[in-house]
A and B are shown apart, each in its own frame.
Chain A
Amino acid sequence: MTVAIAIKELKKTYANGFEALKGISLEVEQGDFFALLGPNGAGKSTTIGVISTLVNRSGGTVEVFGRNVDTHVYETKLDLGVVPQEVNFSQFERVRDIVMTQAGYYGLPRSLAHERTEKYLKKLGLWEKRMDRSRSLSGGMKRRLMIARALVHEPRLLILDEPTAGVDIELRRSMWDFLTEINASGTTIILTTHYLEEAEQLCRNIAIIDNGEIIENTSMKKLLSELDSQVFVLDSPSLLAEEIVLNTAGVSARRVDEHSLEVSVAAGVNVNSVFAELDSKGIAISSMRNKTNRLEQLFITRLRNQG
């Protein structure tokens, strides 16, 4: 499998002496949907900054599709599309011009630039706004415009730094669908996000960075399988008793209110057995959800262990 990005011993110390990256190493395979998670100030944006050359690194190497970014500057940049955390286009330009200009920077001939601009503005629901000045767009539209701009040269690797921050849930889900589609068509995606549900939903592999170091780098499935237990909130149409005792090993229950209960299920326990027991006690279940996002649970545990 080709490696889309290979980072080795990456270090960054800012002018004020702050050591943002302490020699991190990371590989992302071609076609992957990869999550780079970490608390604020952990080094996620610095890592993305170094890859995209917006931040000068203090040490280490970066390779994009097997090519060193220092010796193959233009080829590696052609392979890369970046959606930054903060809006970074001119507020006075028209939506269409922003995407067309980006296409020009990547050397796309005008006719192809027009074609691609139309394609991505339509895909991201911005075609009707193409003649509007970018400052008149809503926050969600500005985020979508940055994605359209990053895709106009059709990079093989797309890096998204918190692309759905401040975006309403409906729009966020439509962006998930779009990113899934882009990934399915072969684009490798690296995503940083504060919405762990987003990372769990979209990404196949994950790295957690904290205090400038990678503290976890594995597949999403493997990481989630390491959960000791999960807590589910179950809603019932029946009136629940004050005390609910479940006899299945590794399972405990607690009434939250008269129509809902929390059930803690240890790793390895078949959830069907919980439903069977609840059913035998005459407790019907109408809906169920995780109390906290599973990845969030792990994420917090890892960071606590690290601290």
Chain B
Amino acid sequence: MSLLNNHKFIAFETIVIKEVRRFSRIWLQTLVPPAITIGLYFVIFGNLVGRRIGEMGGFQYMEFIIPGLIMMSVIQNSYSNVVSSFFSHKFQRSVEELLVSPVPNYVILAGFVVGGMARGLAVGAIVTSMSLFFADLEIAHPLITVAVILLTSIVFSMAGFINAVFANSFDDISIVPTFVLTPLIYLGGVFYSVQMLPGFWQTVSSFNPIFYMVNTFRYGFLGSSDVDVYWAFVILGVFVVVLYTGCLWLLRHGTGIRH
């Protein structure tokens, strides 16, 4: 049993190393652009516009948007790493290497998810480092901060995996990030407090899962949030379980990868 576990760990490690090597090799496409984009947000929204806005939710506007921008970069990069990598495996048919090997489905999934988390967290770390040039960061609840960022990157890595499984072309891997993910992130309270919205739109926002993730992460940093942190973790937990089950089901049935 221990030998079998060891085999599985080696396979898992192999997938993770391969994934990290992939996004590190193309760092100009994977690590630099998000850093530049978020840097521009810091300069334009946080600094130039933020000075006129003043305070938001009891904090300087720059302090208010930093957790949201970090979370935004983690979500986008965790998702895009897995969707582009797994779709490339399908497109080049190198996924067949994995499918004929004795790697269990949950190990395949774990390998890609950890690869996605690695890129999401790497970009998150770069963005956090950049934010130090604009504000003095203090973390009010370190455990909550770490827990929510890890769970969020797991959720979006698995969501990216599902997108890749169903994708048949490179267009298919950009539709969800463009038309679903980006609007949900922007409307998830990255740049504003939901308290500013009329009652109806506050209710609409409560159906946006990213709203809970951004605000819980902000709570971890600032100690203040628009959402109940307990419910945010329940929602994250439900998403992890549902997406994990869905990913494994797709792998077991060979959807999009076996004929």
B-binding residues in A (CB < 8 A): 14, 49, 52-56, 73-75, 77-78, 80, 82, 84, 86-92, 97, 101-102, 104-109, 149
* Cβ of B250 to closest chain A Cβ, rounded Å: 13
Number of A-B contacts (CB under 8 A): 81
Knowing A90-B88, A105-B14, say if A74 contacts B97 (CB, 8 Å): no
Given contacts A56-B258, A87-B93, A90-B94, 7 further A-B contacts (CB under 8 A): A56-B259, A74-B104, A84-B93, A88-B94, A102-B101, A105-B103, A106-B11
A interface, over-half SS: loop
Knowing A54-B259, A90-B92, A101-B14, say if A107 contacts B99 (CB, 8 Å): no
Listed A/B pairs (29) with beta-carbon separation below 8 Å? A49-B259, A52-B100, A54-B99, A54-B258, A54-B259, A55-B258, A55-B259, A74-B4, A74-B102, A74-B104, A77-B101, A77-B102, A78-B102, A80-B100, A84-B96, A86-B93, A90-B92, A90-B94, A101-B97, A102-B97, A102-B101, A104-B11, A105-B14, A105-B97, A106-B102, A107-B7, A107-B11, A107-B102, A108-B10
Are the CB atoms of A101 and B99 closer together than 8 Å? no
Are the CB atoms of A91 and B11 closer together than 8 Å? no
How far is A14 from B254 in the complex, measured between Cα atoms in Å? 14
Are the CB atoms of A91 and B92 closer together than 8 Å? yes
* Cβ of A286 to closest chain B Cβ, rounded Å: 49
Are the CB atoms of B92 and A89 closer together than 8 Å? yes
B interface, over-half SS: helix
How far is A91 from B93 in the complex, measured between Cα atoms in Å? 10
* Cβ of B65 to closest chain A Cβ, rounded Å: 36
How far is A101 from B25 in the complex, measured between Cα atoms in Å? 16
Are the CB atoms of A107 and B254 closer together than 8 Å? no
Are the CB atoms of A107 and B92 closer together than 8 Å? no
How far is A87 from B92 in the complex, measured between Cα atoms in Å? 8
